[in-house]
Amino acid sequence: MNNNSPQGAVSTPQVDIENDNSAAVTITAEQAGQRLDAALAAQLPQFSRNRLQSLIKAGSVLLGESKIVAVKYRVNEGDVFSLTLPEPEEAEPQPEDIPLSIVYEDDDLIVIDKPVGLVVHPGAGNHTGTLVNALLHHCGDSLSGIGGVKRPGIVHRIDKDTSGVLIVAKNDFTHKGLAEQFADHGRNGPLERAYQALVWGAPIGLKGTIDANLARATANRQKIAVVKADQGRHAITHWQLQERFGPEDKPALASLIECRLETGRTHQIRVHMAHIGHPLIGDQEYGAGFKTKHNKFEEPLCSLIANFKRQALHAGLLVIEHPRNGQIMRFESPLPDDFQGILQGLRQV
C-alpha cells in the first residue's frame, strides 16, 4: 500500500516475484479496461514497461492456461495473470589455453589427471578457468554439442578440491557408451572407481559398507546431508582400511581408506565418512568439528595438516571398457604432493 497516495485516491497493489521466478497479478476494478502491459507495470514496478512488453510477446504471461501475447490486450476486473520469468541464459563456455595433465588420449576419449583447484564445468561463480574451457581449447570443435553446452563430453565429475583421474568423451557415440557404464556403477560391467581418503580415526573392522540416502541439507543448500531411507537418493559407499596411524595400543589417530562407489552422488564419500564419525582430514564443510585435531601431532605434521585446507580425497583408479573397441582400460593417478606429505608424516607417528 502506498501511504503517500492523495486522500481518496485508490492505490494499486504491488506484487513481489516469488522464489520460483513467478508472480500472480489480479486485476483491480480501477484497472479494468487498461492495456495488459500498463496493468502489469502498475503492480510490478520492479520491471520497466519495455521489459514487460518483451515478456508478454515471448509468451511468459498467461490468463488461466492461455498465453496472452498482445501488449494491447484489454484486461477485466478479476482477471488473474501469471507471469513466469525465463531462466537466464548463461554464456557458452569459451576455449581457454589451460595446461592439462593428459594420461591418455585417442580419437574417442581423453583421460585427465585433474589437479586440486580445477573446477570441472562452468557454474555459479566459475564461468571461466574450468576443465571444460581447457578441453574446448585442446580438442577444438570435436566436443561441441556433446553432453550439452555447459558440460561437453563430461560423463562424471570430481569436486574442485579433489584430485585424480577423470575421463571425457570426444563424440556422441563414446559419450553414450561411457554414460551407460557410469550409470551402471560397475554392477554388470567392468567399471571401477577407487578413491584414497585420509580420515580422522579409523572405522571398526577392515572393511565395510555405508548405505545411507543423501539429499540437499535444508539449512544450507550448498551442503549434502544423510536423510531417512524414504527420502533423498540412494547412496552406497564400500570402504576398506589400507593403513592405520597411531600407537597400536590406543585408538587410531587417523587412517588411509580406499572407497569404492556403488552410486555416484554429490559429496558422497565426504558425507558418508563423516556420517560414521570419520570425516576426511582437511574437509572444511563436513569435518568442521575436527578442525583442531592436528594439535595432537608434533611438528612438522601439525602444521602440514593445519594448512591443508581441502578434503584429503584422491580419485586414484578408473577402469572402463572402451566403447569403440571393447578394450578394458585401467588408469591410475599418483597421490598429489600435499596429500603424500601428510601421509608420510602420519606413517612416522
Mean pLDDT of 96-123: 94
- The pLDDT, as a whole number, for residue 88 is 58
- The pLDDT, as a whole number, for residue 335 is 97
Average pLDDT, the chain: 90
- The pLDDT, as a whole number, for residue 3 is 43
Tell how strand 236-245 and strand 207-211 pair up.
antiparallel
Is pLDDT at 8 greater than 80 in this prediction?
A: no
Is pLDDT at 24 greater than 50 in this prediction?
A: yes
Q: How much is the CA Rg of the chain, to the nearest whole Å?
A: 27
Work out the pLDDT band at 46, boundaries 50, 70, 90.
confident
Question: Distance between CA atoms of 281 and 197, rounded to whole angstroms?
Answer: 8
Mean pLDDT of 43-51: 84
Work out the pLDDT band at 90, boundaries 50, 70, 90.
low
pTM over cut 0.75:
no
In this structure, of 36-40, 261-265, 325-329, the range with the lowest mean pLDDT score is 261-265
Return the C-alpha cell found at 164.
Answer: 585424480
Q: What angle do CA 321, 327, 328 make, to 5 degrees?
A: 55
Question: Distance between CA atoms of 11 and 2, rounded to whole angstroms?
Answer: 6
Is pLDDT at 312 greater than 50 in this prediction?
A: yes
Mean pLDDT of 41-55: 87
Is pLDDT at 6 greater than 80 in this prediction?
A: no
* Dihedrals phi, psi of 123, to nearest 5 degrees: -165, -170
Question: Distance between CA atoms of 261 and 270, rounded to whole angstroms?
Answer: 12
Name, in order, each residue with C-beta under 8 angstroms of 22's C-beta and a sequence gap of 6 or more.
82, 83, 84, 85
Q: Which domains does the chain have, with CATH numbers?
A: 22-84 (3.10.290.10), 89-184 (3.30.2350.10), 186-331+339-349 (3.30.2350.10)
Share of the chain above pLDDT 90, in %: 70
Mean pLDDT of 33-48: 91
Cα dihedral value 334, 340, 344, 345, nearest 10: -170
- The pLDDT, as a whole number, for residue 19 is 61
- The pLDDT, as a whole number, for residue 5 is 43
The pLDDT tens digits of the residues spanning 182-224 come to 988 888 899 999 999 999 999 999 999 999 999 998 888 789 9
Q: Catalytic residue positions? A: 159
* Dihedrals phi, psi of 49, to nearest 5 degrees: -60, -40
- The pLDDT, as a whole number, for residue 50 is 81
Mean pLDDT of 27-51: 91
- The pLDDT, as a whole number, for residue 11 is 61
Return the C-alpha cell found at 294.
Answer: 592436528
Q: What angle do CA 181, 317, 203 make, to 5 degrees?
A: 105
Q: Tell me which of 90 and 214 has the higher pLDDT.
A: 214
Return the C-alpha cell found at 343.
Answer: 601421509
Mean pLDDT of 264-283: 96
Work out the pLDDT band at 18, boundaries 50, 70, 90.
low
- The pLDDT, as a whole number, for residue 26 is 95
Mean pLDDT of 139-152: 77
Closest CA to 194 of 280, 267, 261: 261
Is pLDDT at 75 greater than 90 in this prediction?
A: yes
- The pLDDT, as a whole number, for residue 219 is 81
- The pLDDT, as a whole number, for residue 2 is 42
Cβ atoms of residues 104 and 110 within 8 Å: yes
- The pLDDT, as a whole number, for residue 116 is 95
Is pLDDT at 288 greater than 50 in this prediction?
A: yes
Cβ atoms of residues 161 and 310 within 8 Å: yes
- The pLDDT, as a whole number, for residue 60 is 93
Return the C-alpha cell found at 39.
Answer: 496493468
- The pLDDT, as a whole number, for residue 249 is 87
